Amino acid sequence: MELRQVPFIGYASEKVGHIFIDRSSPKSVIKSLEEAKTKLVNGNSVVIFPEGTRSRGREMRPFKKGAFKLAFDLELDILPVTIVNSYKIKREGFFNIVPARAGLVIHPAIKTSDYHGNLEELKNDTRIVLESGYQ
C-alpha cells in the first residue's frame, strides 16, 4: 500500500509538501525526482527511502539508484538515517497501525565527493551504514 493511501497520514503528508512517487510509470518517477531536485536547489531538505517501498521486516530491499544519482547531480552529501522497528507499527493491511516502539539512528554524513561519480559504490556503502543501525 502506498503511503498516500494511508488514512490521515497520506492526506497530511500531501498537504505539507511530501513528494510521492508513482512507480507504475517511469515518466512519473522522473517527474517526482525533478520535483525533489527543485526543492533541494531551493534549500529544502528531502527524505528519500532508497528501497522505493516499505520492507515487511528488518531485511532491507534492494536500493533504487534515483536518490544517489540526485545526490551526485546536485553535489549533495547524504545523511543516512536508520529507522528501527517501523515494520512493527505499520503492519500489512489497509489500516493496520498498532502501538510499538521504533527508533532512529542518525549516522555521520556520507560525502558524495569521495565517490567520484561511482554510484554503485555509494549505494553499497550507504546500505552498509544503514544496516549497522540495526545492531
pLDDT tens string 27-54: 877 887 888 888 888 787 878 888 876 6
C-alpha 59, offset from chain centre: 15
Note the pLDDT tens digit of each residue in 9-30.
777 877 777 777 776 777 877 8
pTM over 0.85: no
Please provide the average confidence, as pLDDT, over all residues in the chain.
Answer: 82
pLDDT above 90 covers what percent of the chain?
27
C-alpha angle 91-92-93 in degrees, rounded to nearest 5: 115
* pLDDT of res. 54: 64
* pLDDT of res. 119: 95
The residue assigned the cell 565517490 is 115
Which among 127, 132, 53 is positioned nearest to 90, based on CA atoms? 53
* Confidence tier at 3 by pLDDT (50, 70, 90): low
> Which residues fall within 8 angstroms of residue 58, CB to CB, at 6 or more apart?
87, 134
Mean pLDDT computed over 78-105: 77
SS3 80: coil
Residue 110 near residue 80, CB atoms below 8 Å: yes
* pLDDT of res. 1: 47
